[in-house]
């Protein structure tokens, strides 16, 4: 089946699954947003404290801390992705859903959750780090003669690097996109086996998931124009469609099965 046709089926199914349940999923979205805000504020507060207490006396140390602290806090934050997957798996399979299911990764098998979160977070961190470092290095020359001379070459380098690392990020992240679902469905698998399994089942499926992800871009734009209010509808819709994608990938070999 073509990716466009499969995307349409999954998104229509997502609308059906969500019908009459938007209050519960909106509460979950709000909870996740507040949790993310809290973790980010803690990361900023810790970085500010390190600077004020004199732990970072050189520009190099400040630069390292500015990357390391958000990276470590992002690993902790990403554990909530386990709970999000748990919440939407329950939603899509007709089981009861509760907001505090989002804390599943912290309350159940935290060690495996943090390992998988570290893998996913590191992929994003590594793929964006070179470009971010180059941006920080060139920002020191802002408004100077040196910037005027090297602006075009630096811009070209940044664009090329961004494209290269963006392609690498999408390829790897799509391969690892099912790790949290697999952790929930196969609790006996180790973190490394879950990573391998995700990469295996996504062979030949990455383009389909990528197409599904792209299909939500117009809705993100509408949500931005609504000052973010639209995200209360778009995020549950997207997460439900992603969960249905996983269920479709893992479906039994039954010709009468409908996603």
Tell me whether residue 254 is in a domain: no
**204 against 3, higher pLDDT:** 204
Tell me whether residue 259 is in a domain: no
Average pLDDT in the chain: 85
Closest residue by Cα to residue 82 from 11, 215, 166, 185: 185
Based on the structure, what is the number of domains in the chain?
A: 1
Tell me whether residue 28 is in a domain: yes
Q: What is the pLDDT of residue 259?
A: 44
Token pair of 123, please?
């992929």
Least confident of 10-14, 167-171, 205-209: 167-171
Average pLDDT over residues 85-111: 95
Q: What is the pLDDT of residue 253?
A: 47
Tell me whether residue 142 is in a domain: yes
Tell me whether residue 213 is in a domain: yes
Tell me whether residue 26 is in a domain: yes
Query: Structural domain of residue 17, as residue ranges?
Result: 3-249
Token pair of 66, please?
């500015």
pLDDT digits (tens, 9 = 90+) for 173-212: 999 999 999 999 999 999 999 999 999 999 999 999 999 9
**143 pLDDT exceeds 60?**
no
**9 pLDDT exceeds 50?**
yes
Least confident of 16-20, 35-39, 133-137, 194-198: 133-137
Tell me whether residue 57 is in a domain: yes
Asked whether 120 and 177 are in contact (CB, 8 A), the reply is no
pTM of the predicted structure, to 2 decimals = 0.86
Tell me whether residue 258 is in a domain: no
- Gyration radius of the chain over CA positions: 21
Average pLDDT over residues 227-237: 90
**59 pLDDT exceeds 80?**
no
Phi, psi angle pair for 53, to nearest 5°: -90, 0
Asked whether 191 and 122 are in contact (CB, 8 A), the reply is no
* Angle between the N-to-C axes of helices 231-249 and 80-92, in degrees from 0 to 180, rounded to the nearest 10: 80
- Whole-number Cα distances in Å, 101 to 45, 161, 242: 28, 39, 18
**141 pLDDT exceeds 60?**
no
How many other C-beta atoms lie within 10 A of the C-beta of residue 90? Answer: 17
């Amino acid at each position: 089946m073509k990716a466009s046709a499969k995307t349409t089926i999954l998104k229509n199914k997502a609308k059906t699954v969500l019908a009459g349940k938007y209050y519960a999923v909106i509460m979950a979205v709000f909870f996740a947003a507040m949790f993310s805000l809290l973790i980010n504020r803690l990361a900023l507060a810790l970085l500010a404290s390190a600077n004020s207490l004199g732990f970072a006396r050189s520009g190099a140390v400040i630069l390292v801390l500015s990357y390391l602290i958000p990276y470590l806090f992002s690993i902790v934050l990403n554990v909530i992705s386990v709970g999000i997957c748990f919440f939407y798996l329950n939603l899509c399979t007709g089981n009861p859903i509760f907001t505090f299911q989002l804390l599943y990764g912290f309350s159940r098998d935290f060690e495996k959750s943090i390992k998988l979160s570290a893998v996913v977070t590191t992929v994003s961190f590594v793929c964006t780090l070179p470009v971010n470092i180059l941006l920080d290095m060139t920002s020191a020359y802002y408004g100077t003669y040196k910037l005027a001379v090297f602006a075009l070459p630096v811009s070209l380098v940044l664009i090329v690097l961004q494209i290269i690392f963006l392609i690498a990020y999408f390829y790897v992240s799509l391969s690892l996109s099912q790790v949290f679902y697999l952790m929930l469905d196969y609790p006996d698998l180790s973190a490394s086996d879950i990573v391998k399994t995700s990469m295996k089942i996504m062979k030949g499926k990455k383009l389909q998931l990528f197409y599904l992800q792209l299909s939500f871009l117009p809705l993100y734009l509408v949500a931005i124009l609504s000052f973010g209010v639209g995200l209360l509808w778009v995020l549950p819709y997207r997460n439900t469609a992603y969960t249905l994608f996983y269920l479709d990938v893992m479906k039994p070999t039954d010709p009468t099965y409908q996603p």
